[in-house]
Structure 1
Amino acid sequence: MTVPTPPAATYRLQLTPAFGFADAAGLVGYLTELGVSHIYLSPILQADPGSLHGYDVTDHSRIRAEFGGEAGLRALAAAGLPLIADIVPNHMTVPVPESGNRRLWEMLRDGPGSAAARWFDVDWEAGPVALPVLGEGTDVAAEVVADGDGLRYHDHRFPLRPGSSQLAEQHYRLVPWRQGPGYRRFFDVNSLIGLRVEDPEIFDATHEVILGLIADGVIDGLRVDHPDGLADPRGYLARLRERAPVWTVAEKILIDGERLPSGWACDGTTGYDALNMVTRLFVDPAGSQSLIDTFVKHTGVTQDYDVVVYEAKKQVLAQFFGVELDRLSRGEPSLREAMAELLAAMPVYRAYLVPGEEPPAESLRLIGSAAELAATRTDPDAVRRAAELVVGGPPETVVGFQQACGPVMAKGVEDTALYRWYPLSCLNEVGGEPDRFSVTAEEFHAFCLRMSPNTMTTLSTHDTKRSEDVRARLAVLSEIPGEWAEAVAEWSARVSFDPRLDYLAWQNLMAAWPISVERFGDYLFKAAREAKTSISWIAPDPAYEAGIRDFAARAIEECGPSVAAFTERVDRYARVNSLGQKLVQIMMPGVPDVYQGTETTDFSLVDPDNRRPVDFAYRRSLLADPAGDSWDAAKLHVTRTALAVRSRLAPGAPYVPLTTTGEHVIAFSRGGRAVAVATRHPAGLARRGGFGAETLALPSGRWTCRLTGERYTGRIPLAHLLGRYPVALLERD
C-alpha cells in the first residue's frame, strides 16, 4: 500500500460553540503566512451541545451543528488549507438527559437483543445494565417518576421497556453514582460509554461520515483518540487504513524507551514521546538532587517516585476499578487481589496480547516482569494464575486486562502520582517520568535517529499539564535550585495552606505569572482533586476547597511582587529555553504541530485553562509587523522561519548530529540542507561567562542564517552565531 504523504506542519485548533468552522476559515490567510500546511481540528462530530472539547460524541451521523454543520466544514476545507480531523472511536457520551444519545436510548429501551446493544461494550451477563446516577440516600420510589413515555430522575431521563411501567422491569437499573457502571467506560468517567468498533457493522456506522468526507477530499488526515482503549487496536487501525489511506497518527502514550507496536497501520504518535524528550533536553541534571531535597522538605513526601506511583495505582484501583477487577477475577478474592497487583505493576499502557495469537516476546517480558513484582506483594500462586489468564485465558480476560491497563496508568500516574510527586513539575507530563530529569545531547540524537519521519511532534496540546512556555520557565529552576529554595522558603513563611499542595502551587504561580486569582484557584482546585490526598472528585470538602481559594488569593496578594521579581529573573533564561524548544521541535524528524496560540508565548496550565480563546488579532498584527525584540516577537519569528525552512525539506530528510566543542549547545543538520542550533542550560552558560572560544563546524558549503541574514562557512564561533538570538537556523545557499 502506498505510504500517505504527511503534512509539512499542522496547527491545532480547539473548536467550541463560540469558535466554529467559519472562525477557523477566517484564520486560513494567517496560518498560511505563518507557514503551516494543514489545520488540525478537535473532534467535529455531533457532541453534547455545550461541550468545549468534543470528545463526548452523541451522534456519528452528523457534523456538529454548533460549529456550522457539514456545510460549514466543507466551506472551511475550501478556504485553502487541508484539514486533519480528530476522531473518537473508543466511546460515546452518556448525556443528561440520556435521550440525547439515540443509540444509547434504544439500547436501554430494547435491551441486549436489540441492534443498538451491539454498539456498546456492556456486561449483560451481570443482568440489567447498571447506570450510576443516583445521589446519596436516594429514595428511588419517591424520586424516580413517570414522564411521558419514560422515567425521570431529576435531569436524567430513561426509556420504558415496551409494555412495562415499573422501574424493576427495565433493561437497566439505577445505582448510586459512586458505584461502577455495567459498561466499559473511558478511564473512570461514567459519562463516557465504550464502543464496540471491533464489530464491522459498528465500525461502518460510526465512521461513515468521516470516511465519506475523506473520499470527497474534505479531510486529508486523521488523529485517532485513545486507541489503547479498543478491544483490538491493531485490527482497528488496519481497517481504518484500508478504508481511509490518509496520514494517520494515534494518541499512543509511549513510556520512556517504549516503541510504537509493530504492525500498527498508522504513521506515528501524536507526539508526547517527542515532547518529553525535548523538555528533558533543556533541564540541567546537576540540579536534580537539590530539587528533590527541597520538594521532600516542603511536602514530607518520599523521594522514591516508584513508591508514590504504586500507592496511587492501588488507590485508584480500589476506588474506581472494582467492576473491572470483579470481571477479571470472576469473583475469586485471591485472584482479584492478584489482578489488582498485576495491574499496579504494569509499567506501560498496554502489553498488546491478542487472543488466539502467539504472544509477542516483548508482551511476555512485560507481563512476566510485572508478575515478578506483583508476587512480592501478594500470594505468588494467585499472581501466577492471574498472569496465565492474562496471557492465554479466555478472550474476555485477555482483552479486558489490556483495556484496564491504560485507565489504571492514566488515573494512577497521570491523574494522581504526577500531582503528588513534583520536584520539577515541567517533567510531570503525559507519558513523562518525573524522576528522569534530563537527557544528554547524545541521548537526544539517538532518539531522533530512530524516529519515524511521519510521526507527529508537539510541545503543547489540549491535554498537556502545562504549556511549553510554563515548562521553559520551570526548566530554569534546575539551574538555580538554591535560589529557588530560598524563594519558596520566603513565600511559604508568609502564606501556607497544605504542604502537599503548596509547593506545586508556588512552582505554577511563578511559571504561569501573571495569572488571575480565579485561574490560579481553579488550577489548584483541580490539582488537589487529582492528587486525592485531601479531597477528590468523589470526596469533596467545602472547607478545604474554601481554603484553596483563600490560599490562591493570599499568595498573589502577599507574595505577588516577590514572585514577579523572581519570574523576571527566570525569564532571562526561560526565553532561551522557549526559543530552543520551538526550533528543535520544528526541525527534528516528524511532522511538527503548533498548538493554537503557541507561536507566541503561552503560559497556560492544565485543561480547561489551555483551551481558553486565543487572541489571534494580536498574533496577526505581530506577524504583519514583526519589529521589536520582545519574547513574543522572537518566538513568532523563530516559529515562522523554521516552518518555512522545514517546508523546503523532504519529509524524510536525514537527521545528522553535529558536534560542538561545548556542552551548552544542541546542533543537527537535516538532509544536508539545513542546520539547527539551540542553546542549552543558559543560566549555567551565563555563570561561566558565555561561550568563550567554543565553535561549531558546519558541513561543507556556504550557509545563511534565516533568522538574522548572516552568512557563514566552515567553523563558526558560537558567541557570534548565537549573539543575536540564542538559536540559529541555517540553510545551504
Structure 2
Amino acid sequence: MTSTYRVQLTPDFGFAEAADLVDYLRELGAGRLYLSPILQAVRESRHGYDVVDHARIRDEFGGEEGLRALAARGMPLISDIVPNHMTVPLPESENVQLWSALRDGPESPHARWFDFQWPVALPVLGDEPGGLVVDGEVLRYYDHEFPIRPGTGHLPLPELLEAQHYRLVNWRESPGYRRFFDVSSLMGLRVEDPEVFQATHAVTFRLIDDGVIEGLRVDHPDGLADPRGYLRRLRPHVPGPLWVEKILIDDERLPSDWPCDGTTGYDALNMITRLLVDPSSRERLIETFARHTGVRDGYEDVRHESKKHVIELFFRGEVDRLTADLGDPGLRDAVAELLAAMPVYRAYVNPGEQPPEESVRLIQEAAREAAARTDPDAVAKTANLVLYGPPEAVTRFQQTCGPVMAKGVEDTALYRWYPLACLNEVGGEPDRFGVTPDEFHAFAAGLPPRTMTTLSTHDTKRSEDVRARLAVLSEMPEEWALAVDSWAASVSFDPRLDYLAWQSLMAAWPISVERFTDYLLKGAREAKTTISWMNPDPAYEDGVREFARRAIEVCGYSVASFTEVVDRYARVNSLGQKVVQLLMPGVPDVYQGNEITDFSLVDPDNRRPVDFERRRRLLAAPDDSWDGQKLLVTTTALKLRQRFDPEAAYTPIEAGEHAIAFARGDRAVAVATRLPVGLERRGGWGSETLALPPGRWRDLLTGAEHTGRIPMAHLLSRYPIAILEG
C-alpha cells in the first residue's frame, strides 16, 4: 500500500469513466483507486452518502457488472462505506426497510434497523394545512408516501393518523429518530445489532471476498453506538486497509484499541497547513478581522455561542431525549452546557466498562467549563451520569457530541470567526496560528505507519491551493490589510460576511460570479447570523448576489493584481505541502484533480467535474508552469513511495526556520521551503546549509547528485523543494 487516488463517482462519472482513468493513474504513480460510496443511493445523488438499498451496487454507476469491470483493470479498489445512516427518500416507499418499519411498527422485522421512538415523529408537514390524501394502502402528502397500518385504512383521516406507528409533524420539529447531524432525511442505523450489521454489509463483504474491493474507508464512525465494537466486527472481513473518517482535535489521537489503520487524514492536513503559517502575524490578522467584522470575541467564546445556537436550533429533540434517558428533567440546561463545552467529537465511554482516563479527563474538563454557565451541581450530576449512568444515556451522550461539534463548529463557528481562513478546516482550530518544524516532526513521527494523509477531500472547506494562498497572508498582514481596506471601501454589504468574501475571492481567483455567489450564500447560511438553511430571507440573498457581482466587477482587477503577488509565494507553499504530505509517514491520498493546482471552495464547489484530459496531456508533456511543477512533484513523490518501505523510519533533518526536511529510512529525503516571504525579505538562504544523511543522494526533480553538507541555495536553486533518493 503506497498511495490512494480519490474519485467522486456521480451519475455522470461512473465505473466506466473511472476505468478509463486507470492507465493515467498508473502513470501518475497512484497505488490504489479510492471510490466514493458505491451502494445504491438516491438516483440523482451527487455524493452517494444517501444510501437507499444496501443490497445493490448503484445502478447509475454501472451496477455490479460495471464495478467488476473496473476492478478487472487491475488497480486495487478502496470503497467508502456509510454504516451510520441511510436515506429517507422521496417517495419514502423506495426505502424497503423503512417502509416495513413504518407500516408494521415494532413488530416489523426491520424495526430493529432504526433508532426509533414509537410512534415515530416524521418532520415533513409544511406550514400550511391540508395536503394529506388517503390512496388505498398509502397515505400521500404531496410527493411523500407513507404506508397505512393494516386494518386502519377505513378510518376517518384524523383517526387514521392517530392509528399509525408514526406521527407526521411540522418540518421544523425534531424527528423521532437519530439522524445524521441535523439532516432529517438521513436516518441513523443500529449497526450494533448483528442482524443489521450483516444485512447492511453483506454485499460489501462479498465483493471483498471476491477480490473486487481491497479496503474500506468508514464514514462518520462517531455516529455509531459503539465505534470500537463496530470496527472489531468489521476488521476480520477486511484483510486490506481500513480507515475511519475520524476528526481529531489538536493533540487528540485515535483510540489505541480501534482495530483500523488510521484516520482519513484531517489531522495531517491541519498540521501541514499550520507549518505554512507565520505565527507572528496572529494579533495583526485578528485585529484586521475584528475591525472589518465587528466581532471582538475570541474564538473560544464564538465556538461556545455557536454550539449553544445549534443545540437550540437543531438538537432540542436530541437533548430532550438524552435528558429523559438520564432520568431527571431538571438536568436539561446542564446537558446542553456540557455538550457545548465538549472539546472533541466524542470521548469514547462504553457502558459497563471503566471509562478510559482520557475520557474522564475530557468530560470533567468540559464540566468545569459548563459549571461556570449553569447550576454546578446539575453539571456535576450530569457529568457523572454520562460516565457511569444508564447505558442508554452514556451511549446517547456520545452519539450527540459529534453532531453538536460538527454543526456548531464546522458549520457555524468556522463561518463566524476567520481571521485567517486557511486555518478554518475540518478539525482545525482557527486560533492556533502555526507550528514549528520541531512540533511538526514530533507529530509526524507519532503517526501510525498506515494512516491516511491528505491535503484536500470532498469535504474540505477549501482546496489545498486555496489554503496555500491564504497562508501567505500570514507573512504580509500589512499589505493584506491595505488591500482589503480598499476593496471594502468600494463594495460592501454585510460586515460579518464581507471579510470572508474578500479572503475567498482572492484565494480562489479567478472565480465566476456564479461560483462566488453560491459560496457566499452557503457561508451566510452556515454562519446563521442573518439567514440560515431553515430561515431564508430573499431580500438578504439578493443582496449577497449583488455584492458578489459588484465585488468581481469593481474590484476584480485589483484582486487579480494582489493575487499575482501572492502567487509568487503560494506556489512555494503549494509545492512544499505536497512534498511533505506525499513523503511523510502514512499512506498519502490525492483528491481528484489535485495533482495540479485546484482553487476550489467548500462542497459542492470541490466536487465539480475534473478535466482529466488536460492532466493527461500535461503528464505526457510537462512544462514549467505551476501546474506542471505540481504534477511533476506529485508523480515523482508517488513513484518514489513505491520504492521504499511504507514503514520506513521518519528522521527529522535540521533545516532552520525557513525549511522543513526529513528522511524516510535510507532511501528518501524531502526538503520544502516554508515562510517564503520572510525568506525573501531576509535576502534568501545566505550561507545556510543542510546536512544530508550518509551516502549519495540524487535529486529526482533536477537530476543533480549531492552528498554531505550542501548549501540550501544550491539545493533549492531551481525548485523550492527537493525530492532526493539514496
Q: How does the TM-score come out when normalised to structure 1?
A: 0.97
SS in 1 for 2:216: strand
Name 2:157's counterpart in structure 1.
none
Give the counterpart letter for 1:208 in structure 2: A
2:676 is the alignment partner of 1:652: no
Contact 2:349 2:394 in 1 (8 A): yes
CA distance in 1, matches of 2:330, 2:105: 33
How far has the Cα of 1:384 moved from its partner?
1.4
Residue from 388, 405, 408 that aligns with 1:409:
405
Quote the residue 2:146 is aligned against: 158
Task: Using the TM superposition, give the Cα deviation of residue 242 of structure 1 relative to its aligned residue in structure 2, in angstroms.
Answer: 1.8
1:131 corresponds to which of 111, 122, 130: 122
How many residue pairs align between the two structures? 718
1:334 shift after superposition? 2.9
Residue in 2 that maps onto 1:145: 133
Q: Is the aligned partner of 1:233 residue 2:221?
A: no
Alpha-carbon separation, structure 1, partners of 2:354 and 2:12: 50
Q: Secondary structure, in 3 states, of the residue corresponding to 1:27? A: helix
Q: Is the 2:226–2:350 contact (alpha carbons within 8 Å) kept by the matching residues of 1?
A: yes
Q: CA deviation at 1:168?
A: 2.0
The answer to whether structure 1 residue 703 and structure 2 residue 697 are counterparts is yes
Deviation, 1:717, is: 0.7
Deviation (angstroms), 1:169: 1.4
Task: State the secondary structure of the residue aligned to 1:668.
Answer: strand
The question of 1:185 aligning with 2:176 is answered: no
Task: Return the alpha-carbon distance in structure 1 between the equivalents of residues 627 and 459 of structure 2.
Answer: 23
Once the two structures are superposed, residues 484-537 of structure 1 have per-residue CA deviations (whole angstroms, 9 ceiling, x without a partner) of 000000000000000000000000000000000000000000000000000001
What displacement does 1:303 show? 4.4
1:457-484: per-residue Cα shift (whole Å, max 9, x none)?
A: 0000000000000000000000000000
Quick one: distance in 2 between partners of 1:322 and 1:286? Answer: 41
In structure 2, the gaps of 5 or more residues are 154-159
CA contact (8 A) 1:84 1:219 kept: yes
- Report the alpha carbon displacement of residue 332 of structure 1 after superposing the two structures with TM: 4.6
2:636 corresponds to: 641
Counterpart residue number, 2:111? 117
Aligned to 1:279: 273
1:367 aligns with 2:363: yes
Q: Distance in 2 between matches of 1:560 and 1:436?
A: 31
- Following the alignment from structure 2 to structure 1, what is the Cα–Cα distance between the partners of residues 317 and 259? 32
Q: Report the AA paired with residue 644 of structure 2.
A: L
* Structure-2 residue corresponding to 1:685: 679
Deviation digits for residues 353-390 of structure 1, max 9, x if unmatched?
Answer: 00001111111111111111111110111111111210
Deviation at 1:81, TM superposition (A): 0.4
Structure 1, residues 524-564: CA drift from partner, whole Å, max 9, x if none? 00000000000001110000000000000000000000000
- Secondary structure of 1:556's match? helix
* Residue of structure 1 equivalent to 2:453: 457
CA drift at 1:673: 1.1
Q: 1:424 aligns with which of 411, 415, 420?
A: 420
548, 552, 562: which one aligns with 1:552: 548
Q: Tell me if structure 1 keeps the 8 A contact 2:214–2:239.
A: no
- How far apart are 1:147 and its partner, in Å? 2.4
For 2:106, what is the secondary structure of its paired residue? Answer: coil
Distance 2:566 2:238 in 1: 47
Deviates more, 1:325-334 or 1:364-373: 325-334
Unmatched runs of 5 consecutive residues or more in structure 1: 1-6
Q: Residues of 2 paired with 1:181 and 1:11: CA distance?
A: 37
User: For the Cα contact (< 8 Å) 2:279–2:433, is it kept in 1?
Assistant: yes
Please give the alpha-carbon distance, in whole angstroms, between the structure 2 residues aligned to 1:448 and 1:327.
41
CA contact (8 A) 2:249 2:267 kept: yes
C-alpha distance after superposition, 1:288-319 (max 9, x if no partner): 11110000000011241000000001000111
Tell me, yes or no, if the aligned pair for 2:98 and 2:110 is still in contact at 8 Å.
Answer: yes
Determine helix, strand or coil for the equivalent of 2:262.
coil
Aligned match of 2:528 in 524, 527, 532? 532
Corresponding position: 1:614 with 2:610: yes
Give the match for residue 48 of structure 2.
Answer: 54
Q: Distance in 2 between matches of 1:288 and 1:366?
A: 27
2:434 aligned with 1:438: yes
Q: How does 1:522-601 map to 2 (within 5 A)?
A: 522-601=518-597
- Contact kept, 8 Å, 1:302 with 1:308, in 2: the verdict is no
Q: CA deviation at 1:333?
A: 4.7
Q: How does 1:169-248 map to 2 (within 5 A)?
A: 169-248=163-242
CA distance in 2, matches of 1:96, 1:546: 30
Structure-2 separation of matches of 1:720 and 1:511:
31
Corresponding residue SS for 2:663: strand
Q: Segments of 4+ in structure 1 off by > 6 A?
A: none
Q: Which 10-residue stretch deviates more, 448-457 or 159-168?
A: 159-168
Match of 1:629 among 614, 621, 624: 624
1:42-86 Cα shifts (integer Å, max 9, x gaps): 000000000000000000000000000000000000112000000
Q: Deviations over 1:145-174 (max 9, x none)?
A: 022420111111111111112222111110
Deviations 1:247-269 (A, max 9, x none): 10000100000010121010000
Q: Which of the numbers 8, 19, 25 marks the counterpart of 1:25?
A: 19
Q: Which residue of 2 aligns with 1:4?
A: none
CA distance in 1, matches of 2:278, 2:714: 24
Paired amino acid for 1:341: E
1:550 and 1:154 mapped to 2: Cα distance?
A: 34
Give the superposition deviation at 1:244.
2.3
2:46 alignment partner, SS class: coil
**1:111 aligns to what SS in structure 2?**
helix
CA contact (8 A) 1:292 1:303 kept: no
**Partner in structure 2 of residue 3 of structure 1:** none
Report the secondary structure of 1:103's partner residue. helix
8 Å Cα contact 1:180-1:323 kept in structure 2 = yes
- Aligned-residue CA RMSD (Å): 0.8
Q: Which letter does structure 1 place at the counterpart of 2:65?
A: A
TM-score, normalised by the number of residues in structure 2:
0.98
Deviation at 1:643, TM superposition (A): 0.6
> Given residue 155 of structure 1, which amino acid in structure 2 is its aligned partner?
D
Please state if 1:254 is matched with 2:245: no
Alpha-carbon distance between aligned partners in 1 of 2:72 and 2:371, rounded to the nearest angstrom: 59
Contact residue 192 and residue 230 of structure 2 kept, 8 A: yes
Separation in 1, partners of 2:488, 2:148: 58
SS at match of 2:486: helix
Q: What is the CA deviation profile of residues 679-698 of structure 1, one whole-angstrom value per residue up to 9, with x for unaligned ones?
A: 00011111111101111011
Cα shift readout 1:625-673 (whole Å, capped 9, x = no counterpart): 11x210000000000000111111101000000012x310100000111
Residue 350 (structure 1) shift: 0.5
Equivalences for 1:336-375 in 2 at 5 Å? 336-375=332-371
Contact 2:457–2:591 (8 Å) recurs in 1: yes
Contact residue 334 and residue 379 of structure 1 kept, 8 A: no
AA aligned to 1:117 is A
Give deviations 1:396-453, integer Å, cap 9, x for gaps.
1000000000000000000000000000000000000000010000000000111100
* Structure 1 counterpart SS, 2:547: helix
Q: Distance in 2 between matches of 1:289 and 1:280?
A: 16
